[in-house]
Amino acid sequence: MVARVPRKQVLVQLDDRLVAELDRWAARSEVSRSELIRRAVTAHLGDLDREEQDRTTVEAYERVPDAETFSPWTG
């Protein structure tokens, strides 16, 4: 038995061209338009999370010098 996840309906305005593309890809993927949008939003949010993690990592490295650049044992 698959547990149903509660969902909230959200109104999103899209132009006709984008709706047509969504419908085309939904048909090709054999999923509903809503499912395709959920998948796309989930993927994009994952991308944003990874970008933020990468940015945080780069900022941390920029704040802390590496061992070759700075050593308390050298002048």
Residue 35: CB atoms within 10 Å: 12
Write down the pTM of the prediction. 0.68
SS3 assignment, position 2 = coil
Q: Any idea which of 19-28, 29-38, 55-64 has the lowest mean pLDDT?
A: 55-64
Residue 31: CB atoms within 10 Å: 14
Spatial separation of the C-alpha atoms in residues 40 and 4, rounded to whole Å: 20
Q: In 3-state terms, the chain is what percent helix, strand and coil (to 5)?
A: 60, 0, 40
Is pLDDT at 14 greater than 60 in this prediction?
Answer: yes
Is pLDDT at 64 greater than 80 in this prediction?
Answer: no
Spatial separation of the C-alpha atoms in residues 36 and 24, rounded to whole Å: 11
Confidence tier at 5 by pLDDT (50, 70, 90): confident
Give the pLDDT of residue 69: 62
In the chain, % of residues over pLDDT 90: 61
